[in-house]
Amino acid sequence: MDVNEITLVGRMSAPAEVMPLPSGDSRTTWRVIVRAEREGRRPRFDVIDCVTFDPGIAAAVAGWRADDVVGVFGALRRRFFTGRHGKASHVEVEARSVRLIERRGTPPSREKGPSPARRIRTLGDEPANPGVERGR
């Protein structure tokens, strides 16, 4: 029996990005940073690309901010394409459902000043959303 089930729990690296497709659909992408503990050594961090074509999941992810703790449940996909240097491939997790576990990110500021990546982040006042956001 073949199984392609991925569960990620980690931090958002940055807000999600939406790319309109020629079909009129959208492709929403984001990255999740997952810490891998290693006994007796410094932790390693994996940055995992995630994607959805589902409008319901895209709407849920649109509200997430850098450093929010999130869960992504889906399948590993490898897509092939032709780039500047010939044929290439890319591996990503296609989300079937997502969950905001803990709000940690700082809301975007309209004031001028340091970029959000340079601001000191503190735990937000907003409660974590315990529910799972699912696509249609």
Q: What is the pLDDT of residue 83?
A: 84
Cα 76 from Cα 20, distance rounded (Å): 22
Tell how far CA 73 is from the center of its chain: 11
Place of tokens 């497709």: 21
pLDDT, residue 121, reads 33
Q: What is the pTM of this model?
A: 0.73
Query: Among 3.65.10.10, 2.60.120.260, 3.40.50.2300, 2.40.50.140, what is the CATH number of 6-134?
Result: 2.40.50.140
By C-alpha distance, which of 4, 47, 3 is closest to 29? 47
Helix ranges (DSSP H) in the chain: 55-62
Question: 């092939």: which residue's tokens?
Answer: 80
Please report, for the chain, the start and end positions of each structural domain, with discontinuous segments joined by +: 6-134
Q: What is the pLDDT along the chain (136 residues), one digit of tens a residue?
A: 999 999 999 999 999 999 999 999 999 999 999 998 888 888 899 999 999 999 999 999 999 999 999 999 999 999 998 988 999 999 999 999 999 999 987 766 554 444 333 333 333 333 333 344 444 4
Structure tokens at 52: 């959805």
Q: How far apart are alpha carbons 70 and 50 in whole angstroms?
A: 12
